[in-house]
């Protein structure tokens, strides 16, 4: 017989990293590793009762304080076997388990519903971005201001003239708009490429010796790990930067995963995982940020590579999109943020509710094992008798083990 063989409804407790709270009721036969403690099915104690007891905060704390080992902290049965608990009669154990599972089922249903709402909020934000860049969010506003708006087609031409004047012979003509990809544009909007309205700055990693964690030099951004809602969080600094980006440049990940975007909070430097898109002329940075987020899947689809997806500077330059006049860019940004703020508030409430659900789960377990979850039944057999039977059975098992050892020794002597 395997020493760690499990049978139906055995309780399993993971003694490796006990703070992770790994408890399971086996629903099938199997073999466990030595890092699993197996509690066989008993006629005296409900294994589900034991399993839920292991999940209780006081037991988790007790076990976590008695670990040994640094890289692989474990707790031994010798240590957790000293945990003191109240043991109710078997019938009350079963009532407690039934009530716990009744409450947990309701909690699980509520948590699942909240998670579904979070998914719906994500879709809602995507829909807001889609409608924004189809001109639907500002349809009434645009109609009310139609006589005040300069056609957006003027913007790229004005930017082009200014760039030619600044760069002279270094000026590079932007790629033309893809004629096969024509948008149904609202009146006054134009179709443009990133090269027409922005400068692309590709990152280049500086020598590793220039990285430091002492905040000397400029914040250094490398990729997606630093991306937040709007602004990236610096994790390293660079004292000899090669590629410097400016405040309000739009950052985009050009290596897998391609696409996520941020606004650069201040003068910084970027590594090869990022590119900066610097709006030129009358282009709103946050409008461009939301535009790129709306087109995230399309941009990611341009990524190519053998070991990982990446997008080139030329692919970014040729990306085209619908462009409204500057006042409408600002209005679109306001509308997006207004809709997103509502979604953010709802999501915050959901996150708080999920956190409360976890606290309520722990509270249910606490009350259960303090005898406050179900009423006691005077007709139940007293727990003292249950303990006497458990002790008697334990003593019987110990005697059987001793007898087997004696028989085994005698057999070895005869064989020798």
- Is the pLDDT reported for residue 3 higher than 60? no
- Is the pLDDT reported for residue 86 higher than 70? yes
Q: Identify whether 53 is part of a domain.
A: yes
Q: Please give, one letter per residue, the 3-state secondary structure of the chain.
A: CCCCEECCCCEEEECECHHHCCEEECCCCEECCCCEEEECCCCCCCHHHHHHHHHCHHHHHHHHCCCECCCCCECCHHHHCCCCCCCCCHHHHHHHHHHHHHHHHHHHHHHHHHHHHHHHHHHHHHHHHHHHCCCCCCHHHHHHCCCCCCCCCHHHHHHHHHHHHHHHHHCCCCCCCCCCCCCCCCCCCEEEEHHHHEEEEECCCCCHHHEECCCCCEEEECCHHHCCCCCCCCCEEECCCCCEECCCCEEEECECCCCCEEECCCCEEECCCEEEEEECCCCCHHHHHHHHHHCHHHHHHCCECCCCCECCHHHHHCCEEEECCHHHHHHHHHHHHHHHHHHHHHHHHHHHHHHHHHHHHHHHHHHHCCCCCCCCCCCCCCHHHHHHHHHHHHHHHHHHHHHHHHHHHHHHHHHC
Return the top range by mean pLDDT from 110-114, 170-174, 282-286, 384-388.
Answer: 110-114
244 forms bridges with which residues in the sheet?
269
- Is the pLDDT reported for residue 235 higher than 50? yes
Lay out the sheet containing 11-14: strands in order across. Answer: 23-25, 11-14, 36-39
Residue that is last in its domain, among 57, 85, 113? 85
Two tokens at 327?
Answer: 């006042």
- Is the pLDDT reported for residue 413 higher than 80? no
For residues 187 and 77, membership in a common domain is answered with no
Mean pLDDT of 236-256: 88
For residues 76 and 196, membership in a common domain is answered with no
Q: Identify the CATH number of the domain in which residue 75 sits.
A: 3.90.220.20
pTM: 0.78
- Supply the pLDDT for residue 6: 47
Contacts of 306 (CB under 8 A, 6+ apart): none
Contacts of 257 (CB under 8 A, 6+ apart): 224, 300, 309
- Supply the pLDDT for residue 291: 94
Mean pLDDT of 378-385: 82
Q: Identify whether 192 is part of a domain.
A: yes
For residues 178 and 55, membership in a common domain is answered with no
Residue that is last in its domain, among 54, 69, 85? 85
> pLDDT tens, 304-324?
765 567 889 999 999 999 999
Share the mean pLDDT of the chain: 87
For residues 177 and 319, membership in a common domain is answered with yes
- Supply the pLDDT for residue 143: 94
For residues 203 and 310, membership in a common domain is answered with yes
- Is the pLDDT reported for residue 27 higher than 60? yes
Q: Identify whether 6 is part of a domain.
A: yes
pLDDT band at 387 (very low <50, low <70, confident <90, very high): confident
For residues 178 and 317, membership in a common domain is answered with yes
From 17-21, 118-122, 300-304, the region with the lowest mean pLDDT: 300-304
For residues 80 and 188, membership in a common domain is answered with no
For residues 194 and 58, membership in a common domain is answered with no
- Is the pLDDT reported for residue 62 higher than 90? yes
Mean pLDDT of 79-101: 91
Q: Identify whether 293 is part of a domain.
A: yes
Mean pLDDT of 326-342: 96
Q: How many other CB atoms are there within 10 angstroms of residue 226's CB atom?
A: 20
Q: Identify whether 208 is part of a domain.
A: yes
- Supply the pLDDT for residue 29: 82
pLDDT band at 241 (very low <50, low <70, confident <90, very high): confident
Q: Identify whether 364 is part of a domain.
A: no
- Supply the pLDDT for residue 414: 63
Domain boundaries, position 34: 1-85
Return the top range by mean pLDDT from 33-42, 89-98, 111-120, 254-263.
Answer: 111-120
For residues 179 and 317, membership in a common domain is answered with yes
**How many domains, the chain?**
2
Residue that is last in its domain, among 323, 349, 370? 323
For residues 75 and 178, membership in a common domain is answered with no
pLDDT band at 209 (very low <50, low <70, confident <90, very high): low
Q: Identify whether 355 is part of a domain.
A: no
Q: Identify whether 314 is part of a domain.
A: yes
pLDDT band at 207 (very low <50, low <70, confident <90, very high): low
Query: How much of the chain exceeds pLDDT 70, in percent?
Result: 92
Higher pLDDT, 331 or 213: 331
């Amino acid at each position: 017989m395997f020493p760690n063989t499990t049978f139906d409804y055995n309780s399993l407790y993971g003694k490796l990293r006990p703070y992770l709270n790994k408890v399971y009721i086996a629903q099938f036969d199997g073999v466990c590793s030595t890092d699993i403690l197996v509690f066989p099915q008993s006629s005296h104690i409900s294994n589900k009762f034991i399993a839920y007891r292991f999940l209780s905060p006081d037991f988790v704390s007790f076990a976590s304080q008695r670990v040994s080992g640094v890289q692989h902290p474990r707790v031994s049965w010798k240590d957790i076997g000293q945990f003191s608990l109240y043991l109710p009669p078997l019938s009350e154990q079963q009532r407690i388990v039934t009530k716990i599972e009744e409450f947990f089922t309701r909690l699980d249903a509520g948590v699942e519903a909240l998670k579904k709402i979070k998914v719906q909020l994500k879709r809602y934000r995507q829909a807001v971005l889609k409608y924004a860049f189809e001109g639907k969010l500002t349809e009434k506003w645009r109609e009310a201001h139609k006589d005040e708006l300069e056609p957006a087609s003027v913007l790229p031409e004005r930017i082009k003239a200014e760039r030619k004047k600044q760069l002279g012979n270094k000026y590079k003509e932007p790629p033309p708009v893809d004629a096969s990809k024509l948008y149904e544009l609202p009146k006054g909007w134009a179709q443009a490429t990133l090269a027409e309205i922005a400068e692309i700055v590709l990152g280049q990693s500086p020598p590793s010796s220039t990285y430091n964690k002492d905040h000397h030099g400029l914040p250094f951004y490398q990729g997606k790990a630093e991306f937040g809602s709007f602004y990236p969080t610096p994790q390293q600094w660079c004292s000899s930067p090669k590629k410097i980006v400016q405040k309000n440049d739009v950052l985009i990940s050009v290596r897998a995963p391609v696409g996520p975007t941020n606004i650069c909070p201040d003068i910084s430097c970027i590594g090869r995982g990022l590119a900066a898109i610097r709006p030129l002329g009358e282009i709103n940075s946050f409008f461009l940020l939301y535009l790129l987020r709306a087109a995230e899947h399309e941009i990611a689809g341009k990524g190519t590579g053998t070991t990982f997806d990446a997008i080139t500077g030329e692919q970014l330059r040729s990306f085209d999109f619908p462009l409204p006049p500057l006042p409408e860019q600002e209005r679109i940004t306001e509308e997006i943020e207004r809709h997103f703020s509502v979604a953010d508030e709802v999501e915050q409430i959901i996150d708080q509710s999920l956190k409360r659900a976890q606290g309520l789960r722990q509270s249910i377990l606490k009350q259960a094992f303090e005898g406050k979850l179900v009423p006691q039944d005077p007709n139940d057999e007293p727990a003292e008798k249950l303990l006497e039977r458990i002790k008697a059975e334990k003593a019987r098992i110990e005697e059987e083990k001793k007898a087997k050892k004696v028989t085994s020794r005698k057999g070895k002597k005869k064989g020798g």
